[in-house]
Structure 1
Amino acid sequence: MRKVLVVTEAKAGNLRGVSLESLTAAQRIAEGGEIIAVAFGSDAAHYANVLGKHGANKVYIVGNQELDVYTTDAYSQSLRQVINEVKPEAIFMPHTSIGKDLAPRIAARLGLGLISDVIDVQVEEDDVIFTRPVFSGKAFEKKKVVSGIPFATVRPNNIPVEEISGTIEIVHFYAEIKELRTVVKEVVRKTTSGVDLSEAKVVISGGRGVKSPEGFKTLQGLADVLGGAVGASRGACDAEYCDYSLQIGQTGKVVTPDLYIACGISGAIQHLAGMSNSKVIVAINKDPEAPIFQIADYGIVGDLFEVVPLLAEEFKKVLVNS
């Protein structure tokens, strides 16, 4: 039996799906032990019931107003205090921009054994074994922590979420936050389609073959039909066809959707590093020799401006009839 702490994360007022994946990871190793979730911000109490339905026995609500917007100082001070209070035997948190900033700092301060970008976790002969991709997703390594408490960040869309019934205890915890080096005065959010690219189940991605910002509207049409998000290669971003927030690849976001449709993307190694672990990959390209076809499960040689609208229409028919 292990006591496991799960650090949750919300975005724009909604609990991120990868927080629930982290709870499932905790269930796998707790072996009947206590699972404690921690939620930050003045609205954190809204997520308590959802966390309870996904395995949390106890939820720490750290409701300091300073935590409504992420800053490294406020969150690191607060999380350290929660860890010292709970004294967990393992910790999970989402592998997001926040997780990538916060987890190494906490691990270094408290002497924890950090393993980042985890896609699976199992118990083998009483050892907790973590699986993570290496070499841009071409291989996987299994690791265990030999010094310090295991602290893992979980990559989105890899651990199936499991619901579990039970009762929860809610603990209101006030963190003592001292002087902050950074204070956020205002947050201006970009208008998006509403689907988080890093957690989307379907991603329609475009490269230089999309040719223009107008071309990305064609991809958005298919994404809307499938309830997905639009992504892009670095080439498309460099050409100013779309915003860099859509970039997928070694220097952009890493995505692992159920369905990845690559439109007009040649398949440079840097781009493959960000999407090669997608469950199903469909490539659409006029060049039959494009490297993207080597990793695609399905390939369509053709003009994306003809193929994508046809796919959108066919998917509409299927979805209406289903």
Structure 2
Amino acid sequence: MDQLGYAWTGAQRRTLERYAHFLGSLSSILDNISGAFERRRSAGHQPSVLAMDSRWNNAFFNGQYLSALWRYVNELKMSLKKDVDVLAVFSRDALDITARFSRREAIEHVDFRLFSLSRSARWLLAPPTKVEDLTHELHLRFINHRSAIRQWVFRFDELYRESLGLNPAFTSAMDHRACRCHTQPSVAQMLFQEAITTPAWNLVYSSRDASIRAMEYKADIALLFKAFKNLNGQMGLLAQDLYQRMEDVVLTLRRASYAVRLGELNSTLSAAMKALGQCMALLEDFESWLRK
């Protein structure tokens, strides 16, 4: 457990990898199910089909997203770090300027060119003409970071809802009759009867019997859904936590843009830097776990 209340374990990392792999395997499993139905039909059984179910639709894309999650987190972390570093320099400049003048010095009397940020080549709106423009620029940059984190909140919520729907859809497909004239074998049992249709899955089975393997496979996938639900819930909480912290940063920088005196500016910048330090610590911990 880290100092901010999150624990990321090796078991959770394996859950993420296995769930992403499982989602990526579903397309071939559906193809193999169709092949199993055809084998039964060719053997003289009444053909069976799976009803169309939209809950399968996004499985492949969700698997790709989870497989690339480290890259998305790292991109955000690096982008955020650049602006945190800019804000840190701006804060030091403000302290240096305050030391030269006074905490009570009116910001409108301070030459904006004394700040290193004034020489930036990148502006979200327009080049500055006063100190207030510099603080407003910082405010806008962190609004963008807040928006990026907000997308995580939506994405993890979407993953939760789609996993919740996919679980019963998958179970129903595995338990579906392989033909309409017999209750056995089930689709899962049919898949394990042939090596070419056996789901590619990292599991040590206790038997070569197709029925037993099918049962153990379904049980393992059921545990995987449960483990991913818990993991995704924790990732969702992290995203919400980061979003709230970034919201506080944005509001603090908004106050900084309205600061009248240097002392007030220094105080708000210090609060923003403290909150951002916590955000970066959370992201570093999460990214490090994903990188393993």
Bucket of the pairwise TM-score, normalised by the shorter protein: under 0.3
Q: Which has the higher contact order (CA 8 A, sep 6+)?
A: 2
Q: Normalised by the size of structure 2, how large is the TM-score?
A: 0.19
Higher strand share: 1
Higher helix share: 2
